Amino acid sequence: MKKNIATISPGFEDIMPEEYQDLVNDGPYGRGLGIKNLGTFKELIEEHPLCAGCGLALAIRLTAASLPAPEDTIIVGTTGCNSILMPQLAIHNIHSLFGNQSSLAAGLKRALKLRYPDKNKDVVVMAGDGGIADIGLSPTLHTWLRRENLTTIMLDNESYSNTGGQESGMSCEGAVLNMAPTGKKFPKIPMPEIAKDSGCAYVATVSVANARRLGRMVKRAILVAREIGPTYLQIFVPCPTNYKFSTSETLKRAKEREKIMEYISSEAEKLIKEANI
Amino acid sequence: MAISSYRVIPGPESYLSPAAASMGVVLPEKGEALIEGKIVPEEEAIEKITEKLILAKNPFFFPGPLILWAWNEKAIAKAKAVKELAEAAGAKIIPMPDYRPKYPMINPEEEINPNHPNLTIWHNKIDTCVFVGVHCHYANLALKIIRGGTDCYTIALCGQAGHEDAMITLRDIHSEEVQKLTEVVKRAKGGTPQ
Amino acid sequence: MMERKVVDPEYMFKRAPREKKFLIGNEAVAEAVKRANVDIAIAYPITPQSEATHIVGDIYAEGYIKDYYRGEDEFNVMSAIAGARMGGARTFTATSGPGTLRAFEMFPLWAGARLPVVCAFMCRGVNSPLTIQPDNIEIGWLMDTGMLIFHAENPQEFFDMTLQAYIVAEQPDVHIPIGVCVDGFFVTHTREIVEVTPEDEMLPPYDPSTSPVPIMDMEVPPIRQMRDPFVMKSNYISYNTHASWQQEVRAAGERAKKHIARYVGKFIEVTNPDAEILLIASGTAAAQARVAMEQAREKGMDVGLAKIRVIRPFPEDEVRELAENPRIIIVPEHNIVGWLAREIKSRIDNSGKVRGHPRVFGGMTMPPEFIMEEIVNGRAR
């Protein structure tokens, strides 16, 4: 399937900069590609200003490459490192405010259901740990409790990285960060458990070091959200800038602390089996 | 409203130019157009556009996303018509493919961006430009920034209600209207048949 | 659900037959929503607006609105409204006082993202101390958000302005939010004759293709954009873009003037413009001022009234002209800060003639006698 908004009007092909021609001729829209195809197609992500060794940037790249239908996906982000990268994605995306990404996404999803009753429009919330688990916890939970058809992907770097490395609810107990000068006083917020208890039909955790599994989880999370109800995927994305480790160590650290978990409701199980993903 | 004395003319106007609408410039009604902030009949603006394009040393068209991308039949038809108009006017074309703040920088030789259109104008020494197929909000930003920082003469062919921040604007311009403009430009270029 | 037909907005506002109903303000605004061809309404309880969105819920249940739910709080309701608007749907919501403050971060976003949201504000006081009573201090805060503000005096204006707001807000050259404000209880809970348009006639649907910014549905180019102001870089260019963006939002408000004149009518309604003492008021303060004016004139005093209906864009030229003749301008208000007096003083040359009194707040009523005191004091000066 060719995506019209990614097709150049006749006569203007040769004046368009190369990156756009590549996206048109070799982009992933409507081709059902995934992680295993990386390196063989023009990716949706363009050059961006995030730090070297950024686990979050890599997770967005892998997620973008794993979307089951990039041609009909809209991403809602929030304030944080993700919001600096998002405009470079060749997917309609919205920077909401800080913490209201889920409620905004709910309104968007409902509007698109009304306007395109015969099409799947996948609305994916992709935001940081501070954005989802702290300032945006209420709408995150409420969209789950209301059973909105949204996928929520947390890019968990265990801190407020864009504002200079402050402790977040997802930081580990004892971590010394800005605003936790004597170490964090309570454990990591158990978001996967909360997601499960709040009605998510699919909940998974993975790290950015596990590309193929991450890709499969993205596809599952979006498919289940489309057909059944809310889903949650938590990706551990270490931050060398604020945790002050070498940029070459991001994947090693991700692997060391990776927790793989997958909860699939029985209804979702059936769907995933049928779809063979 | 008080009649505005503000004129929308080539700059560089100011460190931060005002939006023309806030200076009292009002958009034209159907059948009308704006020349330098003044409401005129559409025909007068068409003549003026033709004159500006013909006399320009280095005219450029900046087609925007609404016609660069083949998202519907109307867009494709308008794109074709705009290309013919640019050719008839002897103008070059630089696209505005999207609205993102591009990282690390644009290549001003091959594209223009609404967030810093002045870079492309300066680099290519453009003295007259035509905006077409740009979403109104982004067109207004770009037109105002151009007026603030460059001496380029700006023309906007708008599919909706027009742009006060352009020096000349037509409104309700679709492919047929662009074709008509092309005919006028061609006739003017060829001189009046004896 | 009855069969309905789309009608021309100008016909609906000016020529459609009207039926007299005996309605409170909350019922009147819901009657407007019913005729506004709304796609999605989102509600959250707060006095005194709740009843309006209850009735809107009933209208949804009858099939006149396609989607409706109770959100988690006002900030997230206004966020969901933004999402629905970015997705190309027409929306309705309402809030009051503390809800307005809870939601506040969203109002400049609505304007900055060029979303033609229509929101009803049934104004009430804010804490502390707790009050649920009428007080319109929130309008003073909303005035600088980039939103357009209409201030309706009574249920009739609330009905009309709500419908008109959709058509003004959705003009492609405007496309910014409009707050339709009324003074809580005095309007929301007061029963009056309201002339409504036929129930089987509704506004044309919103046309997303006219939006001055791309709708976020992956059907409109360009794919890459910045829907919200520019956070990418730190340099003159990005600041200049952000500044230009803000100017463009204000410019959209200026452009709204001709559409307001066409669809809503007069920005200011004036009685006795050449009077020695001019009362300038909006909302229910204007209703009380009218009574005071009539009493004063019966006693032979030379008093006039200017009722301001549109607070944003502010009718500066008209106010400047009105302010030339009177010796004294009296601005009665239902709030402690006197945002209307402040606004008028800042726009005219001789601001010394403006008396920002009387003011009542916290739920107090504004007896015409209280305004009369000011008139008498003014004359004695």
Q: How far apart are CA C65 and CA B170, in angstroms?
A: 38
Is position A137 within any domain?
A: yes
Q: What does B11-79 look like in DSSP terms, one character per residue?
A: S---SSPPPGGGGT--PPPTTEEEETTEEEEHHHHHHHHHHHHHH-SSEEEEE-HHHHB-SSHHHHHHH
Query: Which residue is listed with tokens 């009007």?
Result: A9
How distant is the Cα of C171 from the closest Cα of chain B, in angstroms? 9
Q: How far apart are CA B148 and CA B16, in angstroms?
A: 6
Cβ atoms of C83 and A111 closer than 8 Å: yes
Residue of C42, C66, C105 lying closest to A97 (CB–CB): C105
Residue A158 scores a pLDDT above 50: yes
Q: Which of C7-21, C80-94, C161-175, C233-247 has the lowest mean pLDDT?
A: C233-247
Residue A30 pLDDT: 95
Going by their DSSP bridges, the two strands B168-170 and B32-35 should be labelled as: antiparallel
Q: In chain B, where are the structural domains located?
A: 29-188
Strand partners, C118: C178
Residue B1 scores a pLDDT above 50: no
Quick check: A9 and B80 CB within 8 A?
yes
CA A99 centroid distance within chain:
15
**Tokens at residue B176, please?**
């047929």
User: B3-13 burial by CB neighbour count: b if 16+ within 10 A, else e?
Assistant: ebeeebebbeb
Residue B190 pLDDT: 84
Residue B72 scores a pLDDT above 80: yes
Strand partners, B64: none
Nearest to C207 by CA among C119, C116, C146: C116
pLDDT digits (tens, 9 = 90+) for A83-136: 889 989 999 999 989 999 999 999 999 999 999 999 999 999 999 999 999 999
Q: What does A186-244 look like in DSSP terms, one character per residue?
A: SPPP-HHHHHHHTT-SEEEEEETT-HHHHHHHHHHHHHHHHHTS-EEEEEE---HHHHT
Residue of B69, B71, B137 lying closest to C248 (CB–CB): B137
Residue C100 pLDDT: 98
* Chain A environment of C105 (Cβ under 8 Å): 97
How distant is the Cα of B42 from the closest Cα of chain A, in angstroms? 28
**% residues pLDDT > 70 (chain A):** 99
CATH number of C268-380: 3.40.50.920
- Provide CB contacts within 8 A for B6, sequence distance 6+: B18, B20, B23, B24, B25, B37
Residue of B2, B27, B68 lying closest to C255 (CB–CB): B27
* Chain C environment of B2 (Cβ under 8 Å): 317
Q: How far apart are CA C172 and CA C176, in angstroms?
A: 9
Residue A1 pLDDT: 46
Quick check: B69 and C222 CB within 8 A?
yes
| pLDDT band for position B151 (cuts 50, 70, 90) | very high
Quick check: B76 and A10 CB within 8 A?
yes
* Chain C environment of B158 (Cβ under 8 Å): none
Quick check: C232 and A90 CB within 8 A?
no
**Tokens at residue C44, please?**
């959250």
Q: What does pLDDT average to over chain B?
A: 95
Q: In chain C, where are the structural domains located?
A: 5-209, 268-380
Nearest to A221 by CA among A125, A139, A101, A128: A125
3-class DSSP assignment, residue B192: coil
Cβ atoms of C91 and C117 closer than 8 Å: yes
Quick check: A20 and B97 CB within 8 A?
yes
- Chain B residue at shortest CA distance from C210: B160
Quick check: A8 and B69 CB within 8 A?
yes
C223 has a chain B CB within 8 A of its CB: yes
Q: What is the CATH number of the domain that holds A219?
A: 3.40.50.970
| pLDDT band for position C11 (cuts 50, 70, 90) | very high
Residue A84 pLDDT: 87
3-class DSSP assignment, residue C32: helix
Whether the full predicted model's pTM is greater than 0.95, yes or no, is yes
Quick check: C83 and A94 CB within 8 A?
yes
Residue B191 scores a pLDDT above 80: no
CATH of B29-188, one of 1.10.8.60, 3.30.413.10, 3.40.50.300, 3.40.50.1220: 3.40.50.1220
How distant is the Cα of C312 from the closest Cα of chain A, in angstroms? 25
- Chain C residue at shortest CA distance from B144: C244
* Chain C environment of A6 (Cβ under 8 Å): 223
Identify the residue among C213, C216, C217, C247 best suited for mutation to test binding to B, counting B beta carbons within 10 A and taking the highest. Answer: C247
B132 has a chain C CB within 8 A of its CB: no
Residue of C212, C240, C248 lying closest to B19 (CB–CB): C248
Going by their DSSP bridges, the two strands B128-132 and B153-157 should be labelled as: parallel
Residue of B71, B79, B111 lying closest to A12 (CB–CB): B79
Residue B193 scores a pLDDT above 70: no
Quick check: B97 and A87 CB within 8 A?
no
State mean pLDDT over C243-257.
Answer: 97
CATH number of C5-209: 3.40.50.970
ipTM of the complex: 0.97
**% residues pLDDT > 70 (chain C):** 98
- Chain A residue at shortest CA distance from C89: A111
From residue C188, give the alpha-carbon distance in Å to each of A137, B152, B174, C53, C119: 34, 54, 46, 12, 15
* Chain A environment of C226 (Cβ under 8 Å): 87
pLDDT digits (tens, 9 = 90+) for B93-127: 999 999 988 888 899 999 999 999 999 999 999 99
Residue of A71, A87, A104 lying closest to C225 (CB–CB): A87
CA A226 centroid distance within chain:
15
Q: At what angle do helices C25-35 and C50-61 cross, to 10 degrees?
A: 40
* Chain A environment of C219 (Cβ under 8 Å): 4-5
Please give the residue range of the domain that contains residue A65: 34-39+55-160+169-275
pLDDT digits (tens, 9 = 90+) for C306-336: 999 999 999 999 999 999 999 999 999 999 9
pLDDT digits (tens, 9 = 90+) for A168-194: 999 999 999 999 999 999 999 999 999
Residue C239 pLDDT: 87
B101 has a chain A CB within 8 A of its CB: yes
Count of domains observed in chain A: 1
* Chain C environment of B141 (Cβ under 8 Å): 241, 244-245, 248
How distant is the Cα of C93 from the closest Cα of chain A, in angstroms? 12
Is position A176 within any domain?
A: yes
